[in-house]
Chain A
Amino acid sequence: MSSNVECIDAPKIIDTDKTQLVTFAVGDIILGVDIGHVQEINRSTDITEVPGAPKQYHGVVNLRGDVVTILNPHHIFNIPEIPRTRTCRNLILNLGEDRVGVLVDRILDILDVRKSEFNRRPSNVDSIDRKYIESVYLQDDQIVIVVSLEALADAHEEAQATA
């Protein structure tokens, strides 16, 4: 497993079943998102806090002239927060029209996977709230939770409602 992937090449082979998962760690949980939703991964962790914003958000960053909201995955997934380290990365996602960042503890890998290998929400995975789990993927012995971006998007809808 390589780490510190700063730049992602588009998948070269066109195969409708094949896709790539960007995997990352939040706490001791390994998560993944479809690479199609990932715009970039960067180190701009100089986050401006937004006082009064719900806890789901770390704040905002300057992404080449755009102000992008950064989510706090620890809070959303209810995972104990750990101090930020040098391996922290901003995973910038395209969620519909919006761009949001997720401040993850570590970027792990890009996996070539087949969609058919995904398991839909197995009942035995309970490390994070099931509504955020789209499916899981078994990489060797490790469970990679594929995050439901819709649910993530909803997470801030809720946050907005409570804001």
Chain B
Amino acid sequence: MDAELLVEFVEESREHLSDIETQLLSIEVMGADINDDLVNTVFRAIHSIKGAAGFLGLTEINGLSHRLENVLGKVRDHELVPTPFNVDVMLKSADRLMQLIDSVESSNETSNEDLCDKLDKVLQGEEGGETTDRVEETLDAVDAAVESIDEAPAADVAPSEANADTKEVAAKLDEPAPAKKPAAAAVPKANDKPSKPAGKSGEIKGSSEGLAIEPTIRVNVRVLDQLMNLAGELVLSRNQLLRSMTESSSNNQLEKIASGLDQVTTELQETIMQTRMQPIGNVFNKFPRVIRDLSSSLGKKISLKVEGNEVETDKTIVEAIADPLTHLIRNSCDHGVEQPEDRVAAGKPETGTVHLKAFHQAGKVMIEIIDDGAGMDPEKLRNKAVEKGVLTAEAAAALNDHDAVNLIFAPGFSTAEAITAVSGRGVGMDVVRTNIEKIGGSVEVESTLGEGSVIRITLPLTLAIIPSMIVSLGDRPFALPQVNIVELVQCSGSDKRIERVNNAEVLRLRGSLIPLVRLNSLLSIEHDESKPRENQQVIVVESGRSVFGIAVDRVLDSEEIVVKPLSKHLSNLPLFAGSTILGDGRVAMILDISGITLQGNIQSDSDSVTEEPADTTKDVADLQRMVLFSINKTDHFGISMDVVRRIERVKIDEIEVIGDRKVLKYRGSTLPVMRVQDALDTADSDQPEYIHVIVYAVYGREVGLVAPYLDDITDCDMTFSDSSPSETGTVGLVVIDERTTRVLDLYGMTESARPEWFTRTETADEPAEKRNAHICVAEDSKFFRNFLINTLVEEGHTVDAFADGQLAFEHLETTDTHYDLILTDIEMPNLDGFGLTKKARAIERYADKPIIALTSLADKTSMERGIQAGVTDYQIKMNKPELLGAIQRLANKKHSETTKYTNIPSEGDSK
């Protein structure tokens, strides 16, 4: 056998077979209403395989394709209506052909009698004639055809198994039944309409025709890769040329040529990149079949909607995503979509839908798998995680629902009650995540119990180019992929931020301890340690669930690097993901963060260190959104965002001094402004040209605070703060971004500077007969707890404070103390504010006591939830005067007597 011919045959046949599955499925959907062109395409494909196989002496391939061709010929001649059963046999034959062609050398030793027989039966079955009622039914469109299968066997055997229906139809077809004539009756209907397709089948036809138009040429991938390489080199040479051009004296002519070269090179590179792009449809195309097979083997009814076939991404990604996607789709069918009877019972349509969607978003490719199935129960997942030892009970309880649902991607996790053939081995989702992360993507799931789940995959457009940070150790450059980078940290000298804990170095960063590795010790490179530690540059990276810092000498640049594979001898080094060639021609190794995580003892001892801060910041949340500003290099301040109405940027000379007052002319009126130094001890404030004014309200009156430098608005961790007020006007100290920051008590500060603004409130507000109340406070943040205690005690109230809703409730339930009022935070671990309210209302003596919820969630839904739970009033945490006013007002009232909600940020209330 001529080897070259054989190779050509294999390549050609693969091409023929690559689309056949989709085409057959389209044919199946069309039923009697077939598209002649489409059938012809399939027919011709099989015909050429048959011919070439015969010529090459591949008897088995020849025999099988011959029989398949016969069947297709019949379909083409409208003598055989493609039913799910027929198409099933055809699909199986196409599969077998593919297998045979894949191992073409040994194809003649295989036996394909079984399939040939089946094909023959399909052929003869229709020739022999069938009962008229069945034929009539098949004349109807797809749905009817499907029904006929369901109905027909009912008479013969009870359809106990989902698989049974195909078998039974097979039995049916074995009977000499179908009449030739009624089948032929379908002919006129189908003949007059390649141009007038009806319904569903029309769409499919349209797309399959559309795909065939663009002329293409097959190019060996190696050639493309080589082109890509050369283009990369050209870019490099261009860069060098341009650099030396700028250095040397200018020569107009030469510059023109260089810039022309520059443009062409860029375009060339982009075009070559495009040759590697493939439509994601190449992968999506196989899913109709997957779903079809799955629904029958699972006994479910599932329809697949596909969107975004045309979205293109790098060939490598398209290939790499196929397996994870298949797994996810299988999971959606197996665990997601319910059995038809369950669906009907839940009031959903019998047929479940899996929606597969690809689209571009922010320079990335997104794939969503949406099912309308049962969804996932976060509680069940939490329990499972504990049971499987993936998490401790406390950690599981602390997870929010979103994180709990995403536990399915944790190693060693499977919720399938029984292991089915389709899924449930518990390694799958973990591997799916790993594989997706390997190609620089990410995956997450969102689920609503009873309504379905959305699995969202984010993929990079191309693998070949990775945005990276170039760092150096001595004079060696290393590349670190941006995806892994959380932030860059420059350790400042004033703050000892690299510390030693148990002989290991850690980075103290905003109150969390992050394990630290030094790149030189990681790579066992001898290295000069004389560099002062203060200016140590640290890159905080994350991989999976671990976060750690890597200490490097210098962060050089961020660069889009082209990944060059390492030769096989070096490719399995765990610390490197590959190599790249930098702009100056040097080779830099790409650090593999997941490899480093596994390598070092980072994983083992970081789990205890990193997970804690990660959990506290995320879930146990002593987080407070703060506006950070400074007035000079040394005095830094923070204000709780909750009390800020807005921030304005103005020129400093727009602030006028009238008497001893400062006002800002602003929107046609004037805004009284004050400075921090009016109330607090500070160094002199800088006077930059532009300043910011933080606008807040005191009893409905707007006041501005001058903030010369606005640093940031960010969620700050208040865990490591000191909230014993040392100075009037401040709530305490907190270290944010290595700066000691004074958290301002805006109201206290305003009051001490402008007492006159507060005096009128005494008279304006409700009768100020001070009444000292006994108050129960539930607040998880130590910082705010202390703030509340101090504030309330100062006002003469008696306070008992608890760290979460559960503790407060237990106390309420057991103690004899009768509190006049309950003050509760909303976001708390164990039992949140709503839960506490509900439970407290169930205790008789608190059924009608006022309960004030403290919030930064000023939105309507949470307020409604609060009202339902039985909250009397909402107040903003840091708005001291409002809060104290509300306590005064409500302390001796009953919950049922108060209907007025004074709240959020109080447009003109309490006037």
Please determine whether chains A and B interact with each other in the same assembly: yes
A62 within 8 A of B: yes
State in angstroms the CA–CA spacing of A64 and B570 once bound together.
19
Distance of A49 from chain B, by nearest CB (Å):
7
Decide: A66 and B564 in contact? CB cutoff 8 A. yes
Decide: A98 and B572 in contact? CB cutoff 8 A. no
Nearest residue (CB) in B for A47 is B587
A61 within 8 A of B: yes
Nearest residue (CB) in B for A156 is B569
Decide: A48 and B569 in contact? CB cutoff 8 A. no
Decide: B566 and A60 in contact? CB cutoff 8 A. yes
B481 within 8 A of A: no
Nearest residue (CB) in B for A159 is B569
Q: Which candidate, A6-14, A17-25, A50-58, A142-150, is the interface stretch facing chain B? A: A50-58
- Point out the residues of chain A lying under 8 angstroms from B85, CB to CB: none
User: Looking at the complex, which one of A50, A65, A99 makes contact with B581 (CB distance below 8 Å)?
Assistant: A65
A119 within 8 A of B: no
- Point out the residues of chain B lying under 8 angstroms from A57, CB to CB: 569-570
User: Looking at the complex, which one of A46, A52, A62, A98 makes contact with B524 (CB distance below 8 Å)?
Assistant: A52
State in angstroms the CA–CA spacing of A60 and B568 once bound together.
12
Residues of A in contact, count (CB < 8 Å): 25
- Point out the residues of chain A lying under 8 angstroms from B588, CB to CB: 48
State in angstroms the CA–CA spacing of A163 and B525 once bound together.
17
Decide: A60 and B587 in contact? CB cutoff 8 A. yes
Number of A-B contacts (CB under 8 A): 76
A79 within 8 A of B: no
Nearest residue (CB) in B for A49 is B476
A160 within 8 A of B: yes
Decide: B586 and A69 in contact? CB cutoff 8 A. no
State in angstroms the CA–CA spacing of A159 and B570 once bound together.
9
- Point out the residues of chain B lying under 8 angstroms from A60, CB to CB: 566-567, 570, 579, 587
Nearest residue (CB) in A for B589 is A50
Decide: A51 and B229 in contact? CB cutoff 8 A. no
Distance of A65 from chain B, by nearest CB (Å):
4
State in angstroms the CA–CA spacing of A41 and B683 once bound together.
68
Decide: B476 and A48 in contact? CB cutoff 8 A. yes
Distance of B586 from chain A, by nearest CB (Å):
6
State in angstroms the CA–CA spacing of A98 and B236 once bound together.
24
Residues 541-565 (chain B) with a chain A CB within 8 angstroms: 564-565
Among A51, A64, A98, the most chain B Cβ lie within 10 Å of the Cβ of A51
Decide: A51 and B524 in contact? CB cutoff 8 A. yes
Decide: A99 and B567 in contact? CB cutoff 8 A. yes
Decide: A160 and B585 in contact? CB cutoff 8 A. no
State in angstroms the CA–CA spacing of A156 and B571 once bound together.
12
- Point out the residues of chain B lying under 8 angstroms from A67, CB to CB: 564-567, 579-581, 587
State in angstroms the CA–CA spacing of A156 and B566 once bound together.
14
B418 within 8 A of A: no
Decide: A46 and B586 in contact? CB cutoff 8 A. yes
Decide: B573 and A48 in contact? CB cutoff 8 A. no
Nearest residue (CB) in A for B586 is A48
State in angstroms the CA–CA spacing of A68 and B476 once bound together.
17
- Point out the residues of chain B lying under 8 angstroms from A46, CB to CB: 586
B233 within 8 A of A: yes
Decide: B233 and A65 in contact? CB cutoff 8 A. yes
9 pairs, A vs B, C-beta closer than 8 Å: A48-B589, A50-B576, A50-B589, A51-B575, A62-B586, A65-B229, A67-B566, A100-B567, A100-B569
Chain B interface residues (CB < 8 Å from chain A) = 229-230, 232-233, 236, 476, 523-525, 564-570, 572-576, 579-581, 585-589
- Not counting A48-B579, A100-B569, A160-B569, a sample of 13 additional A-B residue pairs whose C-beta atoms are within 8 angstroms of each other reads A48-B586, A51-B524, A51-B575, A52-B575, A57-B569, A60-B566, A60-B587, A61-B587, A64-B233, A65-B229, A69-B570, A159-B569, A160-B572
